[in-house]
Amino acid sequence: MQLGARWRAGDAPHRGVPPVLFSAIAEQEAVYPSASSWTLTFLEGRPRCALDDAVIVTLDAHGDVALIAVHTLDDAATNDAATTGGATGNAAPPVIASDDDDDDWLS
């Protein structure tokens, strides 16, 4: 069993967050500067880092970094800004429009 955790935006990610998610977390903090905290949970063994009610940084079924847009905070940039790359100059992971598709396998 894996337990979740919380940490303040701007602080180093919690020790339970896989390092592969660190750059995406930093990029999303830049996109949503008014966000206050992250929440780490696990779904089917995969980490899900939620930045307030704005975005979830996670791993997809193939182990690739994925972003799930949840809501847009008042002073946040558009989802287009989240997909234009970050400080590393690499293209950011694709933004999935909504979290509603996670349970399609149930149908």
- Which of 35, 80, 41, 29 is CA-nearest to residue 53? 35
- pLDDT, tens only, 81-101: 444 343 344 455 555 555 555
pLDDT at residue 106 in the model: 55
Domain boundaries, the chain: 5-98
* Confidence at residue 100, expressed as pLDDT on a 0 to 100 scale: 52
48, 14 contact by CB (below 8 A): no
pLDDT at 84: 38
The angle formed by the CA atoms of residues 4, 78 and 61, to the nearest 5 degrees, is 40
Q: What is the pLDDT of residue 3?
A: 79
- Note the pLDDT of residue 49: 97
pLDDT digits (tens, 9 = 90+) for 19-77: 999 999 999 999 999 999 999 999 999 999 999 999 999 999 999 999 999 865 554 44
For position 74, what pLDDT does the model report? 56
Instruction: Look up the pTM and report it.
Output: 0.68
pLDDT at 12 over 70: yes
